[in-house]
Amino acid sequence: MNIVECTDVNKTYQQGQVQIVALKDVSFCIETGAFVALAGPSGSGKTTLLNLIGGLDSADSGDITVDGNPFGQMSQSQLAKLRLYMVGFVFQAYNLIPVRSAAENVEFVMLLQRIPVSERKQRARAILDEVGLGGKYDRRPAQLSGGQQQRVAVARAIVSNPSIVLADEPTANLDSKTGKGLLEIMKKMNLEKQITFIFSTHDKMVMDYARRLILLQDGRLADDRVK
Amino acid sequence: MTIDVKMAWRNIWRNPRRSILTISAIAFSSLLLVFMLSFQFGSYETMINTSVKIHIGHLQVQADEYLDKKTIGLVVPNPAAVAAVLETIPQVEAYTFRGQTFSLVSSKQRTCGAVVTGIDPRREAQVSRLKKLVRQGRFLSEKDRAQALIGKLLARNLRLGLGDELTVLGQARDGSIAATVVTIKGIYSSSIDEFDRSAIQIPLKTFQTVYAMNDAVHEVVIIAKSLSDVAGIKRSIESKLLALENQKPLRTLDWQELMPGLRQGIEMDLISGMIFYFLLILVVAFSILNTFLMAIFERTKEFGVMMAIGTTPGRLTKVLLIESMTLTVIGIISGILLGSMMTLYFQSRGIDFSGASDLLSQFGISGRMYPKLTMLSAISGPMAVWAITFLAALYPALKVRRMRPVDAMRAV
């Protein structure tokens, strides 16, 4: 069963007087439980495509559905609710809330889902333990290393058991050892919890971990292969 | 506490210095508004009460058109009937009758025009401060017939002293010549130059005899128990006077109609005060607007992340409005409390205005002014602050609603 379906997706940006084609007639499907890398050089449209799949941005034309929900017909509020329950994000720059501790960052999604406080705390600590941050619950992002912050971001993305996690160059700011550790964690979550993972990356190590590689070149789908 | 309130409360204290400064600005403006409005209302009441108690009264019953024409023939023909009406109104503190006309008054050396007023000495003492204003000699008594009180400036102009004789010459109500000679029994000084320069008071009975008034009077002067009772008393008198049979048209006038200058002065002062208050509130509103725009610029990326992980734009707007309103409400409550305490302190001690005694003496006020804290003065200003800061906070909060997560996350 497909969790993501993209059909003839186009996206153009205006940069001053210049129009930049970010995506051109991109079509593909991703099945539930996949571990997919969207690869390509800088400017190939990876992040744009990830943002469109996450409903953070809207396509100029074409259809995107996630778990049967057509994004083109949904309001910002409906998209936000969909993201809350179905989509987890891991960003290249971690994007943790600086004034909240690691546990509170993880709890925030559950807070929005109105999960009772005791359950929130218990689940946040459990997932932080799982990503190897046991004992660092109360540290604020500034008190954690880049790798640790990205693990908090992964914990935040998966704590509410979303159907899909979108990771935008998750290892770009990490050394190879830390990056590998993070990929192991995500792979484990993918296998154990059947969460679909979609990465945008130009990191060879991430591509090696992915079971499917979608290659983008100048906004077009250049290759799509299952390993 | 809901999630939104918790989030807002936490956001407020992310930058404690800025939040405290914002709260302080709101509190200070609210404090200023409470005190200034209380001071204004207090001084107006003092001015009104002082002015009415010198001579005019809170209300007067007169013949219709007497206020404009001041003709001796326009009288209240049966003051006893009006008195009977007044006796039935519990808010009436005191009342008196007066006859009044313009005549020539002459001493041995000089002659000039003056308003001759016939007063009932016993009742007058309950209604006006005239008895207390007598600086030389004594106030009139009920037994007096050919005695008079005279203003200090008029006495000086006529070169009169206590015990001197004064000739009064005018026209009586029936058209005959009204003439009498009175002896100066007392000289008063009200600090209101016009009153001290142009009036003498003689016993009402003498006035009615000299001016052929029979039992009629020109004014029934009424003092209310409180300034706030005036409108109610006026309505009662008007309805009860209508019920009197065979009554010539009588009119009930309140202090605003009797002293339009004072009313206009108060209105002018109130308008200029309102302009000042509006500017003050505007400054606070810009301060709030600045605080929230800064908060939004600083947190744009964070808002983007929050939207990305599932926060709806409506919720972000709500949280921001809760933040702004929490700051405003804390500031306003602090301002009301501090402003009320300050007002109550000066309400009991007064504020020294001896430097402006010449100006204040026109209204018969001594060198001290007393603010008066009322519900209106304590609430109205801060409520205006609340309303305007709400509008000021609405703009940045709605700006967030239009944010797209992908753009917000690109913010530095």
Q: What does the buried/exposed string (b/e) look like for B272-283 if buried means 16 or more CB atoms within 10 Å of the residue's CB?
A: eeeeebeebbee
Q: What integer pLDDT is reported at residue B366 of this predicted model?
A: 64
| Cβ of residue A114 closer than 8 Å to a chain B Cβ | yes
Rounded CA separation B23/B91 (Å): 44
Chain B interface disruption, residue of A23, A52, A60, A83, most B CBs within 10 A: A83
Mean pLDDT of B145-165: 94
Tens of pLDDT along B226-272?
888 999 999 999 888 877 755 578 899 999 999 888 889 889 988 99
Among all residues of chain B, which has the CA nearest to that of A106? B309
- Which residues contact residue B31 at a Cβ distance below 8 angstroms, ignoring those fewer than 6 apart? B334, B335, B336, B338, B339, B342
Q: Quick check: B120 pLDDT over 70?
A: yes
**Contact present, B121 and B171 (Cβ < 8 Å):** no
Confidence (pLDDT) at A99: 80
From chain B, pick out residues whose CB is under 8 angstroms from the CB of A99: 10, 14
Residue B44's pLDDT is what?
86
pLDDT per position as a tens digit, B324-375: 899 999 999 999 999 999 999 999 988 887 776 666 665 556 677 889 999 9
pLDDT in tens, B379-399: 999 999 899 888 888 888 888
- What local confidence, expressed as pLDDT, does residue B359 receive? 64
Of A51, A108, A114, the CB nearest to B309: A108
CATH topology for A2-99+164-226 is: Rossmann fold (3.40.50)
Q: How many residues does chain B have?
A: 412
Integer angstrom CA distances of residue B349 from B343, B344, B368, B371: 10, 9, 9, 10
Residues A115-154 pLDDT 10s: 999 999 999 999 899 888 888 999 999 999 988 998 899 8
The verdict on B412 touching A (C-beta cutoff 8 Å) is no
DSSP class of residue B248 equals P
Chain B interface disruption, residue of A53, A76, A101, most B CBs within 10 A: A76
Residue-wise pLDDT for A13-35, tens only, equals 888 888 889 999 999 999 999 99
**Residue B212: pLDDT over 90:** yes
pLDDT in tens, B1-17: 677 888 888 888 888 89
- Alpha helices per DSSP H over chain A: 46-53, 76-86, 102-112, 117-130, 146-158, 176-193, 204-209
What ipTM was reported for this prediction?
Answer: 0.87
CA distance B353 to chain A (A): 53
Q: What is the pLDDT of residues A45-97, one digit of tens each?
A: 999 999 999 999 989 999 999 988 998 788 888 999 999 999 999 988 888 98
CB atoms < 10 A from the CB of A138, how many?
10
Structure-model confidence comparison of residues B103 and B392, the more confident one: B103
With contacts defined as CB-CB under 8 Å, which chain B residues touch A56?
A: 307-308, 404-406, 409
For all residues of chain A together, what is the average pLDDT? Answer: 90
